Structure 1
Amino acid sequence: MRLRHADGSTVHLGYCTNVHPAEDTAGILAQLDTYALPVREALGTDLLGLGLWLAAPVAAELAADPAARRRLRAELTHRGLEVVTLNGFPYAAFQAPVVKGAVYHPDWTTGQRLRYTLDLARVLADLLPDDAARGSVSTLPLAWRHPWDAGHAEAARRRLDALTAGLAEVERDTGRPVRVGFEPEPGCVVESSGQAAALLADLDPDRLGICLDLAHLACAWEEPVAALARLRAAGLPVVKVQVSAALESADPVADAEALGRWVEPRFLHQTRTAGCAHAADPADPAYAADDLDAALAARLPGAWRVHYHVPLHAPPEPPLTSTLPVLRAALAALLGGPTAGCDHLDVETYTWGVLPAARRPGTDAELALGIAAELAFARDELVTLGLTPADGAVPGQPPADRAVPGQPPADRAVPTTLGVPR
């Protein structure tokens, strides 16, 4: 979806397709028909944005084949879909039965990560709409924090210098600028805005910057206005925002049984207490655990925020909550002023398949309607800040009021446990 900011710029809002497991061209096209088309129809919009995830093998194939890139763009256009951003964080197999720490490999000390990211930039340059100002690719914040030493830092620096040069070459060849955003995440070398400012401040701001995931920002217990000011002072542009919310518990001891229902085997759910915001090391085990089950075993003191992306429109059942207040404060700081602080926004709830059983969509149609409800929520938050839909979408129109083609009416297709308005 496109929205118009008061400064006249176009703000792109879409959803990230890393929630789907497809890892080849045929699978990508199938997921467009299974999910993206029903999402667009449910929203009543003429144009739907996708934050496309391409696994490394298909990215390499497309980067080597201009005709294949043109065919993919034609398939997107035919379906009323557009791509201005790619998710380059997971390298492959992101919806495997167990992902956990594998998502951080290969990291930025390796040539594989560099090649993958430049492949994505080359692909994106040919997928961009003609009127898009630029493209963006999100990537991991260098590496997981262990092991990391001066040798790893030097190897990563060489890769980032080559990345800058490679992005400049893509722009020379295609005329389309593509920026890469490093995404601070709990447990990684760059977890907080402070670490980003310390480790990434000398990057080329025309090519490289930050992908700000709002669930990660909340888990770091950062205040959005201060975090954004810190990034600005370091000369780090926010090239992309992941519009996401994390799981929160005010009293984890009392909420232990409820929290236990969110423990699952696929993804890491790093858990942080408020003390991490003031610690020299935000991953200090006094305030942090690398997974939710470990946090429950350690009985970390104080309120918790858990790296578990929860559907924006459907907060967890009490006593648990989500970090929507952080999301709203960050969007207001970025987009509520006279100029837009970022123009690429992705809803990135990749955890639909591992939600507690009572909240998990049971069919493809239910998943599509849940994604549509999240996008409607995000769109309406932006409209509240003064942005104007520019693509025919109707603010405040609940997607469940619309039937998905080929499926039962939405009020029967979506269970109330998904929290979609009926």
Structure 2
Amino acid sequence: MTPLSYCTNVHPAEDLAGVLAQLDRYAEPVRRLVGTDVLGLGLWLPASLAAVLADDADLRRKLRAELDARGLEVYTLNAFPYGGFHDEVVKHAVYRPQWTDRRRLEYTVDCAIVLADLLPGTASYGSISTLPLAWRTPWDDADDRAAADALAELTRMLDGMAKANGRPIRLAVEPEPGCVLDSVADAVAWLAPRVDPRYVGLCLDTCHLAVSFADPAETVAAIHDAGLSVVKVQASAALQVDEPGGEAARLALADFTEPRYLHQVRERTGSADEPGEVLGADDIPQALTELPARNAWRVHFHVPLHARPAAPLSATTDVLRGAISALESTVEGELPHIEVETYTWSVLPETAGNGGDTALIRGIAAELRWAAAQLFATQGVTE
């Protein structure tokens, strides 16, 4: 059965007390509302907390017991944000420290130690998603070598853990627009000659995939043909703007322009029959002044899966469906871990459904129900 989780990076917490409070305040109410005995969590642990837990087996057992008592299971961790993910301004800080910085390796090792003790008995492996090396600048050949060395060191540690525990923990590198590994094609080209595919693969974030204008079926095939695998899917949808030059679209986008997170924008030139290059801007305000706005835009703003944005905006849930369909056709056995990752509830426009704990709990539950009903044609899914 394919585990379906929701990512807890939507909730602010920087210590164990905060994480445990999340379980009561949000996760258990979501489980009850979904109507399932067991709910998957894609747990986010800031680096400071991951280090404390990795150093204390008793605390790890306590966290596992608290999860079990509430009918919650953890197959996957999100180790992309290092900390402070709900600061007033995050923007480029989410890409630091990068994979050339030893702190990134240490954080990921800590997460692997924690996850090994949280995995339920039904898990065949655990997954940890991570950033695509760094923001694109500055980066040079020396950085390439340093990042490859760090992943090799991590792989040796993961191999030792797998031999000791009987189940592997696998790293899922998550391409993102604007980063060193901007697209899945970039990630495949960089990873394939450098990593051990038993322990390092891809996190396929379907919002990022949509923003890159990549074809989902071709993308999944390219990953498979390169000898890599999709370790984890972050089920997410981007904003689409079909006529970005129009006044109505620009007014609608203004509602999604906010100071906390970076919202990269891409526009593909050409036509459907003969697509040209993909043009980019690093945030919505820049896109409004820098892009030609002759063709549709896709915006890195994770929008709720079940709730279509008001016209003239729409969402790229068709890309998410296409990616899952391609995986069902390609992967033998169970699908990768699937994590609903809409971390933007707190910065959504009021008209899009933001509004307190009750709205958030209902929204997450609705997304999970939508995903279970809409995405999986042939495989069983556990929520």
TM-score range, shorter chain: over 0.9
Q: Does the aligned pair in 1 maintain the 2:44–2:79 contact within 8 Å?
A: yes
Q: Which residue of 2 aligns with 1:400?
A: none
Unaligned runs of 5+ in 1: 1-9, 392-422
1:263 aligns with 2:254: no
Partners of 2:138 and 2:232 lie apart in 1 by 28
Q: Which residue of 2 aligns with 1:348?
A: 341
Partners of 2:160 and 2:8 lie apart in 1 by 27
Partners of 1:361 and 1:42 lie apart in 2 by 18
Q: Which residue of 2 aligns with 1:303?
A: 296
**C-alpha deviation, 1:298, in angstroms:** 1.6
Q: Which residue of 2 aligns with 1:155?
A: 146
Sequence identity of aligned pairs in percent? 52
Partners of 2:314 and 2:191 lie apart in 1 by 33
Count of residue pairs the alignment pairs up:
375
1:234-260 superposed Cα distances (whole Å, 9 cap, x missing partner): 111100000000000011011111111
Q: Does the aligned pair in 2 maintain the 1:353–1:360 contact within 8 Å?
A: no
Aligned with residue 317 of structure 2, among 320, 324, 341: 324
1:128-169 superposed Cα distances (whole Å, 9 cap, x missing partner): 001210100000011111011111111111111111111112
Q: Which residue of 2 aligns with 1:405?
A: none
1:290-316 superposed Cα distances (whole Å, 9 cap, x missing partner): 001110122433210000000000011
**C-alpha deviation, 1:51, in angstroms:** 0.1
The equivalences for 1:136-285 within 5 A come to 136-202=127-193, 203-254=195-246, 255-275=249-269, 279=277
Q: Which residue of 2 aligns with 1:293?
A: 285
In the alignment, residue 328 of structure 1 is paired with which amino acid? R
Partners of 1:174 and 1:259 lie apart in 2 by 49
**C-alpha deviation, 1:11, in angstroms:** 0.5
Q: Does the aligned pair in 1 maintain the 2:280–2:291 contact within 8 Å?
A: no
**C-alpha deviation, 1:387, in angstroms:** 2.5
Q: Does the aligned pair in 1 maintain the 2:208–2:300 contact within 8 Å?
A: yes
What is the SS of the residue equivalent to 2:375?
A: helix
1:203-223 superposed Cα distances (whole Å, 9 cap, x missing partner): 101000000000000000000
In the alignment, residue 8 of structure 2 is paired with which amino acid? T
- Residues 1:339 and 1:290: Cα distance change in structure 2 (over 3 Å): same
- Residues 1:268 and 1:340: Cα distance change in structure 2 (over 3 Å): farther
Q: Does the aligned pair in 2 maintain the 1:288–1:300 contact within 8 Å?
A: no
Aligned with residue 50 of structure 2, among 59, 64, 69: 59
Q: Which residue of 1 aligns with 2:94?
A: 103
Aligned with residue 382 of structure 1, among 348, 372, 375: 375
Q: Which residue of 2 aligns with 1:365?
A: 358
Q: Does the aligned pair in 2 maintain the 1:164–1:207 contact within 8 Å?
A: yes
Q: Does the aligned pair in 1 maintain the 2:267–2:291 contact within 8 Å?
A: no
**C-alpha deviation, 1:86, in angstroms:** 0.2
TM normalised by structure 1 equals 0.86
In the alignment, residue 265 of structure 1 is paired with which amino acid? P
Unaligned runs of 5+ in 2: none
What is the SS of the residue equivalent to 1:309?
A: strand
In the alignment, residue 11 of structure 1 is paired with which amino acid? T
Partners of 1:36 and 1:262 lie apart in 2 by 26
The equivalences for 1:22-41 within 5 A come to 22-41=13-32
Q: Which residue of 2 aligns with 1:412?
A: none
In the alignment, residue 142 of structure 2 is paired with which amino acid? G
In the alignment, residue 127 of structure 1 is paired with which amino acid? L
Q: Does the aligned pair in 1 maintain the 2:267–2:297 contact within 8 Å?
A: yes
What is the SS of the residue equivalent to 2:36?
A: coil
TM normalised by structure 2 equals 0.95
Q: Does the aligned pair in 1 maintain the 2:99–2:134 contact within 8 Å?
A: yes
Partners of 1:369 and 1:353 lie apart in 2 by 14
What is the SS of the residue equivalent to 1:12?
A: strand
Q: Which residue of 2 aligns with 1:123?
A: 114
1:168-223 superposed Cα distances (whole Å, 9 cap, x missing partner): 12223433310000000000111112211211102101000000000000000000
Partners of 2:334 and 2:280 lie apart in 1 by 31
**C-alpha deviation, 1:336, in angstroms:** 5.0
Partners of 1:90 and 1:390 lie apart in 2 by 26
1:86-125 superposed Cα distances (whole Å, 9 cap, x missing partner): 0000000101110000000001011000000010011000
In the alignment, residue 97 of structure 2 is paired with which amino acid? P
Partners of 2:66 and 2:37 lie apart in 1 by 15
Partners of 2:222 and 2:74 lie apart in 1 by 30
Q: Does the aligned pair in 2 maintain the 1:336–1:386 contact within 8 Å?
A: no
What is the SS of the residue equivalent to 1:212?
A: strand
1:42-73 superposed Cα distances (whole Å, 9 cap, x missing partner): 11000000000000000000000111101100
1:48 aligns with 2:39: yes
In the alignment, residue 22 of structure 2 is paired with which amino acid? Q
In the alignment, residue 109 of structure 2 is paired with which amino acid? L
